[in-house]
């Protein structure tokens, strides 16, 4: 089998190496799978470069999610059979062409668009949890988000649109507006000091009950100022590197709740039921094509250097996938 | 009857005037009461001086709470009888010797320490709601608060101690430590940059699950840094006039929830059940003397100027009460 490995931190195109190892037969309770597709995320590249919160033990295999097909199962594995599609989610080391691991590492997946399913367990899952964990949203409710053109932001737009939830989407550049309109964004505005007034004008003053922010700094402050009494703002990133000032008038007099979300912690603490509920909702949407992540390009493991180079280019249009077993 | 009135905003000792008016008989559904005791709170003085968020319509009678005795009831009032003690809570205009108002304005109160009951509906109620609305606390849990020597802070200490909840109390001056120890504070510390380390040392690193802050600015930031994973910080004031920076690492990686509390809004939105639950818990504690607000002095309405002067002196030790019907 082939794996992608890095033995030291550094520029991904330099430090990542393809390595061949013998296959490992599944032991009791284990499953051997061949990997169909696994995405390259910015967080993977940051981790390889040593710029991520958690530094891995080296050598390490990157990759946090993907889709695979069961090749063979060990003793005692009843619910998975050869040929079954499975998700790899919440575990590391997916940039490889096959993997032998405990059956509990794999989530049975439907047939359908395998590439879409391979990118479900990070960004779409984050968007889904943002939309479900904090506030009971009903059809017609308004929410607002920053960094609306991020992978999570685009998923929020699509998943909200599926449920009839209306989105105000804040971006930094006007050029991004038509793309977000086309995937179902209701209102798309560029960030700026008068954001709250422009939001009110566009929504007709409808109450905004939930905000998602991954920019922090003044953008967080401005999103907060658009919110209705009793609304919640969820922070899930600090892209600007700036901490916001906390508007205590919003918190005290307007009863705005401030919360945070971190997917790694969700994977640590989610119950089996939580996982089934989340994946059970998302998989049919992505398998059937109602919701889509844009794909820029596909690379075999042998072209890992080209793949990570492409993944870090600003001109790309969507995700870069590794497809280790493509013809 | 006598009322205290101000027709313009200004220094309370100058603008407050005693005024005599004819009594008013209770109409259908109304009750006439004579007022036993009503406290002077800092918020009352700020409002008279025009330094409070909401400015009243003038002329106005100050005062937000008190205890009274029913004198007579109008047609259709069944649950209140002459001689019954009642609380006045969540309504304005209590600085007077009698009041005729709808029966729903009054909450039946037990016999017992009337002066203590007269000060229950603002500070003790705030402390009670802080301790019950946000987190399910169990005996042995640790909480932390700033401005621990404030009227609300001292109530938090006493009400927490009643339930076996342990308190870390942050104050600005060392001289305040013995007083807070004596009313049941477990740990009392002066504020400072190394607060989190000193808290950890005093608590043995026990998780702190809830924080109350009325200081804002750096004190809010420091309280937040002492909290356990999943804890909540409740802001209910901005005494320092400084907004805090919001530590998003606490919010995202440590899942700290940020909430606010404002008593006026609680009175606007609380259901009859909410009120009964809150007052039903507090009244026996205060009527029976298990929990106490310190009283500095008592004044008749005729000495309103002396009373408000005393209430704004820093040397006083407790609340100043108006006792309009004292012998």
User: What pLDDT digit, counting tens, does each position of B150-191 carry?
Assistant: 999 999 999 999 999 999 999 999 999 999 999 999 999 999
ipTM for the predicted complex comes to 0.91
Comparing CA positions, the residue from A247, A209, A244, A214 lying closest to residue A229 is A209
In a domain, B15, yes or no: yes
User: What chain A residue is nearest to B238 in terms of C-alpha separation?
Assistant: A248
Strands B295-299 and B187-190, by their bridges, are: unpaired
What's the length of chain A?
Answer: 327
Which of A144, A128, A134, A129 lies closest to A207 in space, CA to CA? A144
CATH number at residue A317: 3.90.180.10
Contact (CB, 8 A) for A38 and A95: yes
Chain A environment of B254 (Cβ under 8 Å): 260
Asked if residue B96 is part of any domain, the answer here is yes
Beta bridge partners of A30: A102
Instruction: Please report the residues numbered 228 through 257 in chain B whose beta carbons come closer than 8 angstroms to any beta carbon of chain A.
Output: 235-238, 243-248, 250-257
| Number of domains making up chain A | 2
pLDDT at A62: 96
The single residue listed with the structure tokens 């076996």 is B164
B-chain residues within 8 Å CB-CB of A54? Answer: none
Of A237, A251, A265, the CB nearest to B255: A265
Whole-number Å distance between alpha carbons of A267 and A271: 9
> Quick check: B21 pLDDT over 80?
yes
Residues in chain A within 8 Å Cβ distance of B238: 248, 252
- Of A166, A39, B187, give the one whose Cα is nearest residue A157: A166
Tell me what the mean pLDDT of segment A120-146 comes to: 97
Q: Which residues of A touch B258 (CB under 8 A)?
A: 246, 251, 257-259
Asked whether residue A147 falls in the same domain as residue A213, the answer is yes
The reply to whether residue B260 touches residue A261, judged by beta carbons under 8 angstroms, is no
Chain B hits for A238, Cβ within 8 Å = 248, 252
Under an 8 A CB cutoff, do A257 and B259 touch?
Answer: yes
Residue predicted with more confidence, B104 or A298: A298
Active-site residue, from A1, A43, A52, A161: A52
A220 lies within 8 A of chain B by CB: yes
Would the pLDDT of A208 be above 80?
yes
Using the predicted structure, report yes or no on whether residue A91 has a pLDDT greater than 80.
Answer: no
Is residue A59 reached through a cis peptide bond, with omega within 30 degrees of 0 on the bond before it? yes
- pLDDT over 90, % of chain B: 92
Question: In chain B, which among 46-75 make CB contacts under 8 A with chain A?
Answer: 53
Best mutation target among A230, A258, A264, A269 (most B Cβ atoms within 10 Å) is A258
- Work out the pLDDT band at B89, boundaries 50, 70, 90: confident
pLDDT band at residue B315 under the 50/70/90 scheme: confident
Question: In this structure, are A175 and A230 located in the same domain?
Answer: yes
Put simply, whether A320 touches B (Cβ < 8 Å) is no
Rounded CA-CA distance B197/A55 in Å is 26
Task: Give the active site residue among B52, B240, B257, B306.
Answer: B52
The distance of A235 to chain B (nearest Cα, Å) reads 7
* Average pLDDT over chain B, rounded to an integer: 95
Whole-number pLDDT of residue B175: 93
Question: A-chain residues within 8 Å CB-CB of B248?
Answer: 216, 220, 235, 238, 243-244, 260
The pLDDT assigned to B52 comes to 81
Task: Look at residues A208, A26, A205, A185 and name the one whose alpha carbon lies nearest to residue A99.
Answer: A26
* Chain pair A-B, CB pairs under 8 angstroms: 83
Taking the Cβ of residue A197 and every Cβ of chain B, the question of whether any pair is shorter than 8 Å is answered with no
Does residue A10 surpass a pLDDT of 80? yes
Q: Is B242 exposed, middle or buried (0-12, 13-18, 19+ CB in 10 A)?
A: middle
Q: Are residues A217 and A305 in the same domain?
A: no
* Candidate from B216, B246, B252 with C-beta closest to A244: B246
Q: What is the pLDDT of residues B192-237, one digit of tens each?
A: 999 999 999 999 999 999 999 999 999 999 999 999 999 999 999 9
Chain B CB contacts of A245 under 8 Å are 243-246
- What is the pLDDT confidence band of residue B311, given thresholds at 50, 70 and 90? very high
CA–CA gap between residue B47 and residue B162 (Å, rounded)? 33
Residue-wise burial string across A224-241, b where 16 or more C-beta atoms lie within 10 A, e elsewhere: bbbbeeebbbbbbbbebe
**Across the interface, which of B247, B255, B265 has its CB nearest the CB of A255?**
B265
B146 within 8 A of B212, measured Cβ to Cβ? yes
The answer to whether residue A64 is domain-embedded is yes
Q: Are A64 and A44 in contact (CB under 8 A)?
A: yes
Q: Domain of B38?
A: 2-119+293-322
Rounded Cα gap, residues A186 and A161, in angstroms: 9
Q: Across the interface, which of A236, A246, A256 has its CB nearest the CB of B252? A: A236
Find, among B322, B327, B326, B275, the residue nearest to B63 by Cα: B322
- List the beta bridge partners of residue A19: A3
Is the domain of A226 the same as that of A303? no
Looking at residue A89, what is its pLDDT? 87
| Chain A residue closest in CA terms to B259 | A257
Phi-psi group of B274: left, alpha or beta (phi > 0 → left; psi -120 to 50 → alpha; rest → beta): alpha
Query: Is residue B236 among the annotated active site residues?
Result: no
Give the one of B251, B257, B260 whose C-beta lies nearest to A252's C-beta. Answer: B260
pLDDT confidence of residue A54: 74
**Which residues 261-280 of chain B have a CB within 8 Å of chain A?**
261-262, 265
Question: Are A222 and A187 found together in one domain?
Answer: yes
Same domain, A164 and A210: yes
Does B280 fall in a domain? no
Q: Show which of B247, B264, B281 is a domain's final residue.
A: B264
Beta carbons of B99 and B88 less than 8 angstroms apart: yes
Specify if A215 maps to a domain. Answer: yes
Which residue of B251, B264, B266, B268 is the best one to mutate when testing the A interface, meaning the one whose CB has the most A CBs within 10 A? B251
> CATH number of the domain that B129 lies in?
3.40.50.720
Strand stretches in B133-214, DSSP E:
142-145, 166-171, 187-190, 208-213
Contact B257 A258 (CB under 8 A): yes
Least trusted range by pLDDT, from A91-105, B17-31, B226-240 = A91-105
Structure confidence at residue B55 (pLDDT): 79
| Per-residue buried b or exposed e for A93-132, using 16+ beta carbons within 10 Å of the residue's own CB | bbbbbbbbbebebbbebeeeebbbbbbbbbbbbbbbbbbe
Residues A208 and A306 grouped into a single domain: no
Whether B34 and B131 map to the same domain: the answer is no
B107 and B222 both lie in a single domain:
no
Q: Quick one: B80 and B108 in the same domain?
A: yes
In a domain, A285, yes or no: no
Alpha carbons B259 and B220: distance in angstroms, whole number: 12
Residue A94: left (phi > 0), alpha (psi -120 to 50), or beta? alpha
Structural domain contains residue B158: yes
Chain B residue numbers touching A257 (CB-CB < 8 A)? 257-259
- Closest chain B residue by Cα to residue A247: B243
B260, A248: Cβ pair inside 8 Å?
A: yes
**Residue B111 sits in the same domain as residue B235:** no
A326 to A115, A298, A321: CA distances (angstroms): 11, 9, 11
As a whole number, mean pLDDT of residues A180-194 equals 97
DSSP for residue A82 = T
Chain centre to alpha carbon of residue A135:
20
In a domain, B259, yes or no: yes
Cα B168 from chain centroid (whole Å): 20
Band of residue A285 on the pLDDT scale cut at 50, 70, 90: very high
SS3 state of residue A97: coil
Per the document, the length of chain B is 327
Helix, strand, coil tally for chain A in percent (to 5): 30, 25, 40
When scoring B227, B260, B261, B270 by the number of chain A Cβ atoms within 10 A, the one with the most, hence best to mutate, is: B260
Q: Are residues B110 and B128 in the same domain?
A: no
Handedness of CA A129, A133, A139, A144 (dihedral sign): negative
Q: How confident is the model at residue A295 (pLDDT cuts 50, 70, 90)?
A: very high
Which residues does chain A have within 8 Å of residue B253's beta carbon, measured at their own beta carbons?
A: 53, 260, 262, 265
Q: Can you tell me the mean pLDDT for B96-100?
A: 97
Q: What is the pLDDT of residue A317?
A: 86
Interval A23-75: pLDDT, tens: 999 999 999 999 999 999 998 999 999 988 777 899 999 999 999 999 999 99
């Amino acid at each position: 089998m082939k794996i992608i490995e890095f033995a030291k931190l550094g520029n991904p195109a330099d430090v990542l190496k393809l390595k061949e190892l013998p296959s490992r037969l599944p032991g009791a309770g284990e499953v051997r799978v061949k990997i169909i597709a696994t995405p390259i995320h910015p967080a993977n590249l940051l981790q390889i470069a040593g710029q991520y919160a958690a530094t891995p033990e080296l050598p390490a295999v990157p990759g946090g999610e993907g889709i695979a097909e069961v090749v063979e199962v060990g003793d005692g594995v009843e619910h998975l059979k050869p040929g079954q599609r499975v998700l790899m989610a919440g575990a590391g080391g997916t940039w490889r062409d096959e993997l032998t691991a405990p059956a509990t590492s794999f989530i049975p997946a439907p047939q359908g668009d395998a590439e879409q399913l391979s990118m479900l367990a990070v960004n779409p899952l984050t968007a889904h949890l943002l939309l479900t964990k904090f506030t009971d949203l009903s059809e017609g409710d308004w929410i607002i988000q920053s960094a609306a053109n991020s992978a999570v932001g685009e998923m929020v737009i699509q998943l909200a649109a599926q449920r009839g939830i209306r989105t105000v989407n804040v971006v930094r550049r006007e050029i991004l507006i038509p793309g977000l309109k086309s995937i179902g964004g209701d209102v798309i505005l560029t960030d700026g000091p008068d954001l709250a007034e422009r939001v009110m004008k566009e929504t007709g003053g409808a109450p905004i009950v939930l905000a998602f922010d991954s920019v922090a700094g003044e953008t967080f402050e401005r999103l907060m100022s658009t919110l209705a009494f009793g609304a919640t703002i969820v922070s899930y990133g600090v892209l600007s590197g700036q901490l916001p000032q906390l508007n205590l008038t919003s918190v005290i007099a307007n009863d705005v709740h401030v919360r945070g979300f971190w997917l790694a912690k969700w994977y640590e603490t989610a119950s089996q039921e939580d996982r089934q509920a989340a994946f059970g909702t998302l998989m049919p949407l992505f398998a059937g094509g109602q919701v889509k992540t844009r794909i820029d390009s596909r690379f075999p493991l042998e072209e890992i250097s080209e793949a990570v180079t492409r993944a870090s280019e600003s001109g790309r249009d969507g995700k870069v996938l590794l497809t280790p077993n493509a013809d």
